[in-house]
Amino acid sequence: MLENSDLKGVVGAAITPFTEDYEVDIEQLKRHCDALLEAGCAYTSVFGTTGEGPSLSVRQKLEALRKLADMGADMSRQIPGVMTSSLDDAVSMYVEAHKLGCRAALIIPPFYYRSAGVEGVADYYEALVKKAGNPGLDIVLYNFPHFSGIPFSVEQVKAVQKRIGSLVVGIKDSTGDLPGGLELIKAFPELSIFTGSDAILRDMVEAGGAGMIGGMTNPFAKDCVQLYLGGVSEGFVKRATMRIETVDGNGGLNVLKALMAKVYGNPAFARTMPPMEPLSSDKLAAIEAALAEAEKAL
């Protein structure tokens, strides 16, 4: 990572609150993004995996981004997710992110035709930028093969760089694989390499990584920021690991949403877009007990 880059720190991958008719509750989304920034996050990222981006239409996401800007959100501290296999939809999101002054766009590769190969994926990014009119907005590549089926190997990143050059400024590596993350840091010292896991955040940062873009920032933003800054105990890191294992082991996203609904006292945060199901109150109680047990790691 370039030392003078501003693209570093903890990026809050915001959950999306929904109204009863499954529209984005934009007022509550702004409230949450503001809270993440106030807790020390350098940026927020809406409509990624944690934000249920693939379950939302382009109409919903564009409307929400525009209204966030109209409501006074600092869009220069926003890195929206572009989560679609449609080139035209990706172009619409990318163009709007540029118009609204977002810091960058977090773009996942097209995830349906998975046999496209290295050059096919590079074709997609090149076509996206060209069709958008080459607006110049920075791009963070999204490495999450668990969902996309397409890994951003060193070869794949280089192929995309060959097509769109310096527009690629970073990679979000959501694999949770430390050796793979370290390989990306070593291969691309000019890029901001983010992990999606606070469990390996310290190791990544100490090796030259840029920080974290992750869902655990929703309930634990201040602790994630402290992990990034360093100077924490072994128990502090162990607690973070226990927390993410508890959350991911019980459903992941619906757990985060249930926790934040309780924090805000607002059911909009617990609602999930079908087919995902909200967490039951009994399961939430058990998870809260497990998280309380993790506190003993300190």
CATH number of the domain residue 47 falls in: 3.20.20.70
| pLDDT at site 298 | 74
Domain that holds residue 72: 9-232
- Residue 217 belongs to some domain of the structure: yes
Residue 27 belongs to some domain of the structure: yes
* Binding site listing: 50, 213
Token couple for 78: 């926003």
Beta-bridge partner residues of 82 = 107
Per residue in 150-183, pLDDT (tens digit) is 999 999 999 999 999 999 999 999 999 999 999 9
- Bind-site residues for pyruvate: 50, 213
Say if 285 falls within a structural domain: no
User: What is residue 114's predicted lDDT score, i.e. its pLDDT?
Assistant: 85
> How far apart (Å, rounded) are the C-alpha atoms in residues 221 and 41?
7
Q: What is the pTM of this model?
A: 0.97
Our count of domains for the chain comes to: 1
Assigned domain for 80 exists:
yes
In a domain, 254, yes or no: no
Low-confidence ranges of the chain (pLDDT < 70): none
Q: Which of 43, 94, 142, 228 is catalytic?
A: 142
Catalytic status, residue 283: no
Catalytic choice (8, 30, 61, 172): 172
For residue 242, being part of any structural domain is answered with no
Q: Which two tokens stand for residue 8?
A: 């570093």
43 is catalytic: no
pLDDT digits (tens, 9 = 90+) for 33-69: 999 999 999 999 999 999 999 999 999 999 999 999 9
Q: Are the C-beta atoms of 118 and 155 separated by less than 8 Å?
A: yes
Is residue 49 domain-resident?
A: yes
Q: 91 to each of 81, 101, 102, how far by Cα in Å? A: 12, 16, 15
- Strands of the sheet containing 105-107, edge to edge, are 43-45, 9-13, 211-214, 192-195, 168-173, 139-143, 105-107, 81-82
Residue 128 counted as domain residue? yes
